[in-house]
Each structure stands twice: as C-alpha cells, then as structure tokens.
Amino acid sequence: MSPSFDPAAARADVLARIERAARAAGRSPADVTLVAVSKQQPWERIEPILAAGQRVFGENRVQEAMGRWEGRAEGLELRLIGPLQTNKAREAVAFFDVIETLDREKLARVLADEMARQGRTPRLYVQVNTGEEPQKAGVAPAEADAFIETCRKTYGFAIEGLMCIPPAGEPPGPHFALLAKIADGNGLAGLSMGMSDDFETAIRFGATSVRVGSALFGAREAPPGP
C-alpha cells in the first residue's frame, strides 16, 4: 500500500459508490449499512475512519477484536463476521453487538445459554454456505429453513437476517440471489452480503449491510499466527 493511502478518502469513495448502487437499484442509500472490516489492520488506518464518522465495524476473530476494541467500543457497533467456536461464545456474547455467523445448533444452544446468563441479546444473523464449500462455515442452503425455524422455536432467537460469503472466483450474483430468496421465504429483512470486490452487486441483489475491508483500509497485514 502506498504511504499516501488515505482511509478517510477511501471511505468517502465507498459511501458514494454505495449511494450510487442503491439509487440505481431503486433503493434508499440509508437502507445499506457500511460495515468497516478492521481485522488485521493497524490502528493508524482505523483512526482516520473513526474520525470520519464510521461507527460500525466487523471483525472475524474474537480475541483479536477484543485486543483492538476493548476500551474503545463506546458508541460503536461491533459485528462478529468470522466463525465462532462454542468455547468463545461467552466472550462473543459479552463483547459483540451483532453475531453474523450462527450456523449450527450446538452454537445456538451455547449462545442461548450465554445470552440468558449475561442478560445480553446480541443481534443474530444465520450464515449460509451458499456455495456449499466444505471448508467454509455456514448452514447448507437446503437446511437453512429448518435451522432458522429451530433458532426461532427452540431457542427463541429473533433472527435479524442472513449472511453469506460467495466462493472466490465465481460470479457472486447467483449466491446473493439465493441468500435473498432464503431470507424472503423466512420473512427475514437483513442481508449481510458483499465485500470490497462485489458490494455494488450485492446492493443490487438487496444487501442491507456490506462488509468492506481492503477497499477502506488498504491491503491487510499477514494474519496473526498459523
């Protein structure tokens, strides 16, 4: 990344692109939330984005997020967008405002217990593995309806929406369309889909939040540890 990279200017540009994409789709730009994905970014790049008014951030690891945001999270909305292990559920419920990666019953059960214990109710999204990739988290599309029903009936969750990460190297449109169809069939309004390379397409397919990292902050540092 060039030393002159300006995250605040990048944010203004991304917001302008969100606005154009929303208007082109006949939607209100206010209906699309920009989630700034701050994982693996140094504080020098995050600070200008915060100063520019960004309040919603996404992180994919519980520990890393706590290290970055603890003591700085006042007035912010922090979203977990990475896979959640049940042994991190306690910290995730305590720390995040939104958990976007609910994808299995065991996790639902542990989250329900933690939410009851802590008296906190983070907003929840179900992650759908639209490309049915074995290495990727998320419930299979064919199992999504039943899983959403279990979340609602058995665990009493008010699911806010669905989240997906389309396979790399495939056109994302069909994956966004599939996620939107599953959401519609289940009366879910929230659609977390679209990243730096495809957020405008996602908005065309109805995204209500887009998760943008490198287009805002520049390329990420190497992931911590193996």
What is the nearest approach in angstroms of ligand PLP to the Cβ of residue 195?
4
The DSSP output letter for 221 is P
Which tokens in the block code for residue 6? 């300006």
- Residue 33 touches ligand PLP, criterion: CB under 6 A: no
Strands (E), the chain: 33-37, 56-59, 77-80, 98-102, 123-127, 159-163, 190-192, 209-212
Stretch that binds ligand PLP, among 8-16, 112-120, 139-147, 210-218 (CB under 6 A): 210-218
Stretch that binds ligand PLP, among 11-19, 67-75, 153-161, 207-215 (CB under 6 A): 207-215
* Among positions 33, 86, 121, 196, the unique one binding ligand PLP when judged by CB under 6 A: 196
Closest residue to ligand PLP in the complex (CB): 213
Contact 127, 153 (CB under 8 A): no
What are the residues whose beta carbons fall under 8 Å from the beta carbon of 179, sequence distance 6 or more? 128, 130, 162, 163, 164, 191, 193, 205
- Residue 68 touches ligand PLP, criterion: CB under 6 A: no
DSSP letters for 119-146? T---EEEEEB-TT--TTS-SB-HHHHHH
- Residue 14 touches ligand PLP, criterion: CB under 6 A: no
- Residue 214 touches ligand PLP, criterion: CB under 6 A: yes
* Among positions 39, 68, 79, 175, the unique one binding ligand PLP when judged by CB under 6 A: 39
* Among positions 7, 48, 82, 131, the unique one binding ligand PLP when judged by CB under 6 A: 82
CA distance 21 to 27: 8
Q: How many residues does the chain have?
A: 226
What is the nearest approach in angstroms of ligand PLP to the Cβ of residue 74?
24
Where along the sequence are the contacts to ligand PLP (CB under 6 A)?
37, 39, 60, 81-82, 165, 195-197, 211-215
